[in-house]
Amino acid sequence: MSTAPTTTEPRLTAEQYAELADSGRLDELVRGRIVPVSRPSVRHGQICFEAGLILAEFVKKNNLGHLVSNDAAIVTERDPDTVRGADIAFYSYNKFPKGPLPSEVRHEVPDLIVEVRSPSERWPMILAKAAEYLAAGVSVVVILDDERRSANVISADGSTRMLADDDELAIPEILGDFHVPIQRFFE
């Protein structure tokens, strides 16, 4: 009795994934495999933009570091590799000095990630992604939820804070005296 040979698609490294031609589709690399991700809505983009503006104003004024957006590649796992695209990420100048950021795949993870929850995204899925970021070394993940007009702040030390529309977001361990009402993200 013979069995049919099994073929296994080769797993990509983060570097190989970065070299691929743009397919025109949105995707991420998960454990060496390309996985499609859903296209964000206009509202999702608006909240990302507002969050980026709010953070950029403070970060630039206080000379703290770099902000990136548009699903910039973040390597969260190696062997097999996973490359995620955060909505917004903050790298302190301790990780990358002033000046242009490198364009090649790097191992440094951001200090802070902000994700905007899409209506199609289920909580277990986004919380798993947040846990992956934290396991990779990110200090704080903020999940903005337009539906609830809230922010879920998850820290590497295991603490979680749920902030409502009229609460203020503060992340003193990363952004010093930064504080902003949650409602500003959803205006």
Length of the chain as a residue count: 187
pLDDT at residue 107 in the model: 82
Under 8 Å CB-to-CB from 183, ≥6 apart: which residues?
149, 165, 166
Neighbours of 138 (CB within 10 A): 23
Domains within the chain, CATH numbers bracketed: 14-186 (3.90.1570.10)
What is the spatial distance between Cα 20 and Cα 30, in angstroms, rounded to a whole number? Answer: 15
Q: Render each residue's pLDDT in the chain as its tens digit; 187 residues.
A: 445 555 567 899 999 998 887 877 888 899 999 998 888 889 999 999 999 999 999 999 999 999 999 888 899 999 999 999 999 999 999 999 999 998 888 889 999 999 999 888 889 999 999 999 999 999 999 999 999 999 999 999 999 999 999 999 999 999 999 999 999 999 9
Residues 6+ apart with CB under 8 A from 125: none
Largest CA distance in the chain: 72
| CA angle in degrees (0–180, nearest 5) for 39-44-49 | 120
Instruction: Give pTM, 2 decimals.
Output: 0.90
Q: CA dihedral in degrees (56, 96, 64, 88; nearest 10)? A: 30
